[in-house]
Structure 1
Amino acid sequence: MFTHDVLPKEHIDYAPILTFYRELAEGYSRLQGEHGLWHQVLTDPESYEEASCTSMFMYGFALGVRHGWLEQPETYAAAARAGWRGLCERAIDKQGNLYGVCKGSSWSYRHAYYKHELGWNLNDTHGIGIVLLAGIETYRMMQELQSGPARGDVRA
């Protein structure tokens, strides 16, 4: 569920949250890697490609395109499609195994902790659900884009 799915447009915080969402989307879209995935350390393309954050960004982009929350929806639709293609080509094998989901972390101020010490698990359960949600939402987005314009709930 997304905040703007349940928060009434008239709510005092609706516009500021929408603005923040758009700012995050713009920033995250610039960090997408060459294979369509985002990296474990978002600003370090040498860190491994991480499937769960890729899925979360895809989900947010596809939902925003469908609901008309994002300006320049074609940019975010392309990013969601590239993310799905990247997941299918690099993180999901023909048997349905999921690779590249961070195994969970404590916290650290050290870049090396996230890049080298914090690995990923095969079929990590906290990644499978968001990959499915991202796939469903990306599919819905593509279906709606083929059938007509986004709903345009909040176009500015």
Structure 2
Amino acid sequence: MTKKLLFLSLIIPFQVIFAQKNTLSDFPEGYEPKEIGKRLAYHFVDDKHELYAGRYIHYAEVSTWTGSLDYAIQTKDQKLIKLLQSRFEPFFTREKPLLPPMNHVDYNMFGGLALKLYQITNDKRYLDMGMAYADSQWEVPDNAKPEEKAWAEKGYSWQTRLWIDDMYMITSVQAEAYKVTGDPKYIDRAAKEMVLYLDEIQRPNGLFYHAPDVPYYWARGNGWMAVGMADLLTYLPEDHKDRARIMKGYLTMMESLKKYQAPGGIWNQLIDDPECWAETSGSAMFTYAFIVGIKQGWLDAKEYTPAARKAWKALVPYIDERNNVTEVCIGTGKKNDKQHYYDRPRVAGDFHGQAPFLWCIVALMEK
């Protein structure tokens, strides 16, 4: 064997190994998305309801539920689908009082769960329930406030409030309505709303303050925008008039997130503060947005795949022996005080964290 051939025979195996380590598959034992997804989804089946204001199903539970359903569909796990469907069935009878009213952006996103179940079962009860939530986001109630009516007059949802989490809450249910009806008005609504939020509240670096009067880049708040844009772009027709604007907002955000990814692989509670603590729910949302962008071809795979892989491998150890995601920031209202974000309690098993981990898992498994 010549020296050149000998050299190549030694180098090529290392190149293959390097290539494998920079893909979104072939994860080592303990990091396989399918196995972790099974743990988290079946754990959700046995978990208790999380109620909003002590009365209604919380949007974080809805998010975890839809993530579990997507996992069940991806893995063709009929047993899990039946269990998740059975968990919903009491909403038609004894648990009907837990259904959120159709008068708030956080409440209305419940409709997306019903519409996802309709796509699985073809049971019209889910369709009727889900479409009522989707349509009422644009049906102005008689007791609406003047500012709510003003948004509606401009063609936006009367529930518009320019909070960053709205761009998951509104767009998710409208996208599901589009999927089940094929009516472009639903995807048009979602896109128009997204453009408004991007124009009004996205910063030049692509990130988002928690609020206009709170100049801090809170991780999970930014996560809702990252996921909302990634999902909407997945459904939005290529020739849609708003696609270029939304893609610009998405790409600008992804570039900034890559810059602020910590050396360990995830992101901090305050994205641009290296001294702040590592937070898992926002980090999982950013990881999901990376994965979707890579697989859809929006992000340069060579540049972003190592970052997404590193993030996933950094996130998995935060799942404890009870299948709860740890280091999840609790629900957080805005406050113009940096210490406020440092001091937020961290919990295990909060649905705000369980949901985006499941989203990552499904995205990693999709071809």
TM-score, normalised on structure 1?
0.82
How do 1:104-119 and structure 2 match up within 5 A? 104-115=331-342, 117-119=343-345
1:58, 1:138 within 8 Å by CA — same for their partners in 2?
no
> Higher relative CO (CA 8 A, sep ≥ 6), structure 1 or 2?
1
Give the count of matched residue pairs: 138
Task: Map 1:82-97 onto structure 2 (within 5 A).
Answer: 82-89=310-317, 91-97=318-324
> 1:16 — aligned with what?
245
Q: In structure 2, what is the equivalent of residue 151 of structure 1?
A: none
Q: Does 1:133 align with 2:359?
A: yes
The root-mean-square deviation of aligned C-alpha atoms, in Å, is 1.5
Q: Give, in angstroms, the shift of residue 88 of structure 1.
A: 1.6
Equivalence for 1:64: 293
SS at match of 2:265: coil
Q: Secondary structure at the match of 1:8?
A: coil
Task: Supply the AA of the counterpart residue of 2:308.
Answer: A
What's the % identity of the aligned pairs?
Answer: 30
Q: Which amino acid aligns with 2:250?
A: Y
* 8 Å CA contact retained: 2:287, 2:308: yes
Between Structure 1 and Structure 2, whose CA radius of gyration is higher? Answer: 2
- Check conservation: 1:84, 1:135, Cα contact below 8 A: no
Question: Deviation string for 1:28-69 (max 9, x for gaps)?
Answer: 111111211100011112211111111111111100100111
Q: What is the alpha-carbon distance in structure 2 between the residues aligned to residue 77 and residue 138 of structure 1?
A: 11
Moved over 4 A (4+): none
- Alpha carbons of structure 1 residues 80 and 139: separation in structure 2 relative to 1, 3 Å: farther
Deviation (angstroms), 1:139: 4.0
Q: What CA distance in whole angstroms lies between the structure 2 residues aligned with 1:54 and 1:92?
A: 13
Match of 2:270 among 31, 41, 46: 41
2:265, 2:320 → 1: CA distance? 16
Name structure 2 gaps, 5 residues minimum: 1-171, 173-230
TM-aligned CA deviation for residue 138 of structure 1: 2.8
Q: Which amino acid aligns with 1:3?
A: L
Q: Which residue of 1 aligns with 2:88?
A: none
> Does residue 26 in structure 1 map to residue 255 in structure 2?
yes
Give the Cα separation in 2 of the matches to 1:19 and 1:53: 21
Find the aligned partners of 1:45 and 1:16 in 2 and give their Cα distance. 30
- Which of 101, 123, 126 aligns to 2:349? It is 123
In the alignment, structure 1 residue 76 sits paired with structure 2 residue 76: no
**C-alpha distance 68-78 of structure 1, shift in aligned 2 (>3 A):** same
